[in-house]
Amino acid sequence: MKQLKRVVVTGLGAITPLGNDVNTFWNNIKAGKSGADWITKFDASKFKTRFACEVKGFDTDSYFDKKEARKMDIVCHYSIAAADEAIKNAGLDLEKINKERVGVIWGSGNGGITTFHQQVVEFALGDGTPKFNPFLVPKMIVDMASGLIAIRYGFMGPNFCPVSACATSTSAIIEAYDNIRLGKADIIVSGGAEAPIVESGVGGFSALKALSTRNDDFKTASRPYDADRDGFVIGEGAGALILEELEHAQARGATILAEIIGGAMSADAYHMTAIHPDGYGAFLAMRNAVADAGIKPSDIDYINTHGTSTPGGDVGELKAIKKLLGEETQNASISSTKSMTGHMLGAAGAAEAIITIKSLNENFVPATINTVNLDPAIPEGMNIILKPISKSIKIAMSNTFGFGGHNAIVLFKKWD
């Protein structure tokens, strides 16, 4: 049997509601800032929810000429911008690496929903004559970002787009991890992007009663685990990670940010939009990720939870963590950074993986902000961090779950 290769992270890139580069993003996470504000991308005055965590100050002209930009949905703009930062951060010499051994596994839950919405509205308001943009299909389909990143840099290795709703970019990271440790690639650009803040995106989630309607206090609307939470705050953006085979990274003198030591996916097989009330599918994914890593649950120092601020989902996840950790539950610090970023949907896992890696590197656990009164339904012994703390972190876990019952878990280890 072929021995599995070790996989490390050598680059990071971010476009988020809290900053359009990794350093700005991370500093705002450490400071406990909220990315929520009034929706500016459309007139939301008649919507039940009128706020979101939008990307702010994104300069398309810094990455594309105007003709090129018009051929892409904004979700691809975010994707390429994040990937570009990660590639530079990794110090990849594009003239020296074997591009046939570099892949892109990049996800999105909704793809070009902005383009699709605009085109349907234009057709509906017209006289019935079909006048669709010739780039409608490539701007809309969810795999286009992975293709465009590869085209931009000439990467010819494995290339596809996993879709597992809000678990998407964690699924992409796990797929990249598996491809590299099986020897199918040396480097993979992985992560995901989302740009769902359009009338149908916000309206659709609002119709599900999934969104907070705290318009009078939107900065504190995302409040995971709080007894008064009333739904998530929709967000957008992109997160990129450069995953690399260990010996390949060492041979080129790369700075290693963390090692990926395990990952697993599972299904709730329970409900279209709700987590299993006891979080059993989430527990299976966590248990299997721990087994994949060859560690004990008690070795986990920090868990960046899915923690969306929805009444049912938060408690189900914590029950799963309690089942995993048992008597060691108190030893693992837990926080939900969606309290700051909002829920970036398919991009959430990548953005939170970046936070998890930065937490490892700096021995810092970010807070769950806005949470004041913990839900009494939360299991006993959960070490939920409400104020940021310094703590030695050697192993950290990032959790993501998606509509359809998709669960994806990844484990990172500090690189010594």
Domain limit, last residue, from 218, 251, 284? 251
Q: Name the strand (E) or helix (H) holding 140.
A: helix 136-140
Domain limit, last residue, from 251, 282, 297? 251
Handedness of CA 13, 15, 18, 20 (dihedral sign): positive
Catalytic residue set: 166, 306, 343
C-alpha–C-alpha distance, residues 75 and 410, integer Å? 24
Examine residue 405 and state whether it is found in any structural domain, yes or no: yes
In this structure, the answer to whether residues 25 and 101 fall within a common structural domain is: yes
Which pLDDT does position 1 carry in this prediction? 62
Examine residue 23 and state whether it is found in any structural domain, yes or no: yes
In this structure, the answer to whether residues 227 and 287 fall within a common structural domain is: no
Examine residue 258 and state whether it is found in any structural domain, yes or no: no
In this structure, the answer to whether residues 14 and 111 fall within a common structural domain is: yes
In this structure, the answer to whether residues 217 and 296 fall within a common structural domain is: no
Which pLDDT does position 346 carry in this prediction? 98
Examine residue 2 and state whether it is found in any structural domain, yes or no: no
C-alpha–C-alpha distance, residues 357 and 365, integer Å? 11
- Taking Cα atoms as reference points, which of 350, 371, 409 lies closest to residue 109? 350
Give the strand pairing for 258-267 and 406-413.
antiparallel
**SS3 (DSSP) at 18:** coil
In this structure, the answer to whether residues 136 and 278 fall within a common structural domain is: no
- Taking Cα atoms as reference points, which of 385, 341, 49, 388 lies closest to residue 222? 341
Examine residue 1 and state whether it is found in any structural domain, yes or no: no
CATH (domain of 171):
3.40.47.10
Examine residue 256 and state whether it is found in any structural domain, yes or no: no
In this structure, the answer to whether residues 174 and 68 fall within a common structural domain is: yes
C-alpha–C-alpha distance, residues 275 and 402, integer Å? 9
C-alpha–C-alpha distance, residues 348 and 397, integer Å? 14
In this structure, the answer to whether residues 212 and 332 fall within a common structural domain is: no
Which pLDDT does position 28 carry in this prediction? 98
C-alpha–C-alpha distance, residues 8 and 249, integer Å? 8
In this structure, the answer to whether residues 157 and 246 fall within a common structural domain is: yes
Which pLDDT does position 127 carry in this prediction? 92
| Domain span holding position 333 | 266-413
Examine residue 355 and state whether it is found in any structural domain, yes or no: yes
C-alpha distance from residue 194 to each of 17, 110, 143 (Å): 12, 7, 12
Number of domains forming the structure of the chain: 2
Examine residue 259 and state whether it is found in any structural domain, yes or no: no
| DSSP codes, 280-329 | HHHHHHHHHHHHHHT--GGG--EEE----S-HHHHHHHHHHHHHHHGGGG
pLDDT tens, the chain, 416 aa long: 679 999 999 999 999 999 999 999 999 999 999 999 999 999 999 999 999 999 999 999 999 999 999 999 999 999 999 999 999 999 999 999 999 999 999 999 999 999 999 999 999 999 999 999 999 999 999 999 999 999 999 999 999 999 999 999 999 999 999 999 999 999 999 999 999 999 999 999 999 999 999 999 999 999 999 999 999 999 999 999 999 999 999 999 999 999 999 999 999 999 998 888 889 999 999 999 999 999 999 999 999 999 999 988 999 999 999 999 998 999 999 999 999 999 999 999 999 999 999 999 999 999 999 999 999 999 999 999 999 999 999 999 999 999 999 999 999 999 98
pLDDT in tens, 11-62: 999 999 999 999 999 999 999 999 999 999 999 999 999 999 999 999 999 9
In this structure, the answer to whether residues 342 and 317 fall within a common structural domain is: yes
In this structure, the answer to whether residues 240 and 282 fall within a common structural domain is: no
In this structure, the answer to whether residues 192 and 275 fall within a common structural domain is: no
In this structure, the answer to whether residues 333 and 218 fall within a common structural domain is: no
